[in-house]
Chain A
Amino acid sequence: MAASAVFILDLKGHVILFRDYRGDVPIRYAERFITKLNELEEAGKVTPIISDEGVSYLYVQYSNLYLLIVSRENVNAASMLLFLHKLREVFVHYFNELEEESLRDNFVIAYELLDEVMDYGYPQFTEAKILSEFIKTDAYKMEVQARPPMAVTNAVSWRSEGIRYKKNEVFLDVVESVNLLVNSNGTVVRSEVMGALKMRTFLSGMPECKLGLNDKVLFEAQGRGGKNKSVEMEDIKFHQCVRLARFENDRTISFIPPDGAFDLMTYRLSQNVRPLIWVECTVEKHSRSRTEYLVKARSQFKERSSASNVEIFLPLPPDAITPTVRASQGTAVYVPEKEALVWKIKSFPGGREFLLRAKFSLPSVAAEEEPHGRMPPIAVNFEIPYFTVSGIQVRYLKVIEKSGYQALPWVRYITTGGEYEIRMA
Chain B
Amino acid sequence: MGESKSRGEQAEIRTTLASLASTSGSSKGETAVTAKRDVFKKIINYITIGIDMSSMFMQVMTCAVSSGEDIVLKKMLYLYICTYAQSNPDLTLLTINLLTKDCKDQDPTIRGLALRSLCQLRVANLVEYIMSPIQQGLQDAHPYVRRTAVMGVLKVYHLDKAAVLNAGMLETLQETMVQDKDAQVVANCISVLKQAGAAQMLVSRSLVIPLLNRIKEFSEWAQCQVLEAVSAYKPANEQEVFDIMNVLDDRLLHSNSAVVMATVKLFLHLTLTMPPTHQQVLERIKDPLQTLISRDHFETAYAVLAHFLLIAQRAPVLFSQIYTTFFCRQNEPSYIKTLKLEILTALADETNAYEIATELTEYVNDIDEQLAREAVKAVGRIAIEVQDVGGIVERLLGFLETGKSFVTAEAVIQIKDLLRRYPSIAEACLASVSSIAPEDVTEPEGRAAFIWILGEYGHNIQDAPYLLEPLGSSFADEPVPVRLALLAAVGKLFFKRPPECQRLLGTVLAAAMGDSNQDVHDRALLYYRLLQQSAKEAERVVGAPLPAISHFAEEQSPELRDRIFDEFNSLAVVLRAPSANFIQESHVSAADDALEAPAALPETPRAAAEVDEGSALLSSHEQEEALIDTSTSNGNSPGPSLVSTAGPAAVPTTSASAVDDLLGLSGGDFAMPVAATPAPPPTLSLEPRPVLTPAAFQASWGSLQPAARFSHPLPPSALAAIEANNHQDFCRRTGAVGIATMASGGVAPTFRFYMYAKPMGGPSMVLLEAIVDKSAGSASVTLKCEDAASVQPFAELFRRQLDAMAGVDTLGPALHSGWRMTKGGSQMGPTMI
A110 to chain B, nearest CB (A): 10
Q: Tell me the B542-557 residues at the A interface (CB within 8 Å).
A: none
Q: Which of A2, A49, A82, A194 is the one whose CB lies under 8 Å from B294?
A: A194
B275 to chain A, nearest CB (A): 24
Query: Which residues of B have CB within 8 Å of A266?
Result: 255, 291, 295
Query: Which residues of A have CB within 8 Å of B579?
Result: 74
A82 touches B300 (CB 8 A): yes
B303 touches A81 (CB 8 A): yes
Q: Tell me the B452-489 residues at the A interface (CB within 8 Å).
A: none
A419 touches B191 (CB 8 A): no
Q: A76-B228, A190-B327, A374-B362 are in contact. Are A24 and B590 (CB under 8 A)?
A: yes
What's the Cα separation between A181 and B358 when bound, in Å?
Answer: 14
Q: Which of A44, A79, A84, A189 is the one whose CB lies under 8 Å from B359?
A: A189
A15 within 8 A of partner (CB) = yes
B288 touches A235 (CB 8 A): yes
B571 touches A142 (CB 8 A): no
Q: A24-B587, A189-B324 are in contact. Are A56 and B582 (CB under 8 A)?
A: yes
Q: Which of A76, A120, A152 is the one whose CB lies under 8 Å from B224?
A: A76
Q: How large is the interface on A (under 10, 10 to 19, 20 to 34, 35 or more residues)?
A: 35 or more
B826 within 8 A of partner (CB) = no
Interface code A117-135, partner B: CB below 8 Å = 1, 0 otherwise?
0011011111000000010
Tell me what chain B mostly uses at the interface: helix, strand, loop, or mixed.
helix
A386 within 8 A of partner (CB) = no
B569 within 8 A of partner (CB) = yes
Tell me what chain A mostly uses at the interface: helix, strand, loop, or mixed.
mixed
B559 to chain A, nearest CB (A): 19
Interface code B165-207, partner A: CB below 8 Å = 1, 0 otherwise?
0000000000000000011100010010001000000000000
Partner-binding segment picked from A236-244, A300-308, A360-368? A236-244
Q: Which of B75, B256, B327, B362 is the one whose CB lies under 8 Å from A82?
A: B256
* Residue of chain B at shortest CB distance from A85: B297
A183 touches B362 (CB 8 A): yes
B302 within 8 A of partner (CB) = yes
Q: A240-B216, A240-B254 are in contact. Are A56 and B327 (CB under 8 A)?
A: no
A146 touches B71 (CB 8 A): yes
Interface code B308-352, partner A: CB below 8 Å = 1, 0 otherwise?
000000000000000011010111011100000000000000000
What's the Cα separation between A146 and B144 when bound, in Å?
Answer: 13
What's the Cα separation between A125 and B220 when bound, in Å?
Answer: 8
* Residue of chain B at shortest CB distance from A23: B122
Query: Which residues of B have CB within 8 Å of A60?
Result: 297, 299
B643 within 8 A of partner (CB) = no
Query: Which residues of A have CB within 8 Å of B298?
Result: 48
Query: Which residues of A have CB within 8 Å of B596?
Result: 1, 73-74
Query: Which residues of A have CB within 8 Å of B302?
Result: 47-49, 81
Interface code B105-120, partner A: CB below 8 Å = 1, 0 otherwise?
0011100110010000
B367 touches A111 (CB 8 A): no
A2 touches B295 (CB 8 A): no
Number of interface residues, chain B, beta carbon within 8 A: 111
Query: Which residues of A have CB within 8 Å of B66?
Result: none
Query: Which residues of B have CB within 8 Å of A146?
Result: 71, 107, 109
B567 within 8 A of partner (CB) = yes
* Residue of chain B at shortest CB distance from A234: B287
B184 touches A82 (CB 8 A): no
Query: Which residues of B have CB within 8 Å of A236?
Result: 253
What's the Cα separation between A194 and B287 when bound, in Å?
Answer: 13
* Residue of chain A at shortest CB distance from B292: A78
A73 touches B49 (CB 8 A): no
A100 within 8 A of partner (CB) = no
Q: A48-B335, A53-B584 are in contact. Are A108 and B330 (CB under 8 A)?
A: no
Query: Which residues of B have CB within 8 Å of A11?
Result: none
A123 touches B221 (CB 8 A): yes
B144 touches A152 (CB 8 A): yes
Query: Which residues of A have CB within 8 Å of B381?
Result: none
* Residue of chain B at shortest CB distance from A114: B79
Q: Which of B41, B221, B255, B299 has the most CB of A within 10 A?
A: B299
A292 to chain B, nearest CB (A): 22
B408 to chain A, nearest CB (A): 12
A122 touches B191 (CB 8 A): yes
* Residue of chain A at shortest CB distance from B578: A74
A107 touches B297 (CB 8 A): no
Query: Which residues of B have CB within 8 Å of A20?
Result: 83
Query: Which residues of A have CB within 8 Å of B299?
Result: 48, 58-60, 81, 84-85
B572 touches A74 (CB 8 A): yes
B584 touches A77 (CB 8 A): no
A403 within 8 A of partner (CB) = no
Query: Which residues of A have CB within 8 Å of B107?
Result: 145-146, 148
* Residue of chain A at shortest CB distance from B599: A74
What's the Cα separation between A146 and B105 when bound, in Å?
Answer: 13
Partner-binding segment picked from B146-154, B429-437, B607-615, B716-724? B146-154
Query: Which residues of A have CB within 8 Å of B333?
Result: 46
B143 touches A1 (CB 8 A): no
A320 to chain B, nearest CB (A): 15
Query: Which residues of A have CB within 8 Å of B307?
Result: 78
Q: Tell me the B395-453 residues at the A interface (CB within 8 Å).
A: 402-404
B402 touches A371 (CB 8 A): yes
B575 within 8 A of partner (CB) = yes
A17 within 8 A of partner (CB) = yes
* Residue of chain A at shortest CB distance from B70: A142
What's the Cα separation between A374 and B404 when bound, in Å?
Answer: 12
Q: Tell me the A7-24 residues at the B interface (CB within 8 Å).
A: 14-18, 20, 22-24
Q: Tell me the B582-596 residues at the A interface (CB within 8 Å).
A: 582-584, 587-588, 590-592, 596
Query: Which residues of A have CB within 8 Å of B195?
Result: 1-2
Query: Which residues of B have CB within 8 Å of A4?
Result: 591
Q: Which of B50, B143, B574, B582 is the one whose CB lies under 8 Å from A15?
A: B50
Q: Which of A24, A78, A142, A148 is the one whose CB lies under 8 Å from B144?
A: A148
* Residue of chain B at shortest CB distance from A112: B75
B404 touches A371 (CB 8 A): yes
Q: A46-B335, A111-B75, A270-B290 are in contact. Are A153 and B306 (CB under 8 A)?
A: no
What's the Cα separation between A1 and B593 when bound, in Å?
Answer: 10
Q: Which of B76, B142, B300, B335 is the one whose CB lies under 8 Å from A81?
A: B300
Q: Which of B40, B291, B304, B367 has the most CB of A within 10 A?
A: B291
* Residue of chain A at shortest CB distance from B296: A82
A119 touches B147 (CB 8 A): yes
B155 within 8 A of partner (CB) = yes
B728 within 8 A of partner (CB) = no
B290 touches A374 (CB 8 A): no
A27 touches B50 (CB 8 A): yes
What's the Cα separation between A124 and B591 when bound, in Å?
Answer: 20
* Residue of chain B at shortest CB distance from A145: B107
A78 touches B330 (CB 8 A): no
Query: Which residues of B have CB within 8 Å of A192?
Result: 294
Query: Which residues of A have CB within 8 Å of B191?
Result: 2, 122
What's the Cα separation between A139 and B304 when bound, in Å?
Answer: 40
What's the Cα separation between A379 and B331 when bound, in Å?
Answer: 11
* Residue of chain B at shortest CB distance from A247: B250
B144 touches A115 (CB 8 A): no
Top 9 A-B pairs ranked by shortest CB distance? A54-B584, A373-B367, A79-B258, A74-B579, A374-B365, A123-B221, A78-B303, A48-B299, A235-B287
Give the B-binding residues of A (Cβ under 8 A): 1-2, 4, 14-18, 20, 22-24, 27, 44-49, 51, 53-54, 56, 58-60, 71-79, 81-85, 104, 107-108, 111-112, 115, 119-120, 122-126, 134, 139-140, 142-143, 145-149, 152-153, 155, 157, 179, 181, 183-184, 189-190, 192, 194, 234-240, 244, 248, 263, 266, 268, 270, 370-371, 373-374, 376-377, 379, 419, 421, 423
What are 13 contact pairs spanning A and B, CB under 8 A? A48-B302, A49-B303, A54-B582, A72-B588, A74-B567, A81-B299, A115-B75, A115-B116, A119-B151, A146-B107, A152-B182, A153-B182, A377-B330
**Other A-B pairs, 11, CB within 8 Å; known A54-B605, A379-B330:** A1-B570, A23-B86, A73-B592, A79-B569, A119-B116, A119-B147, A148-B108, A155-B183, A190-B327, A192-B294, A266-B295
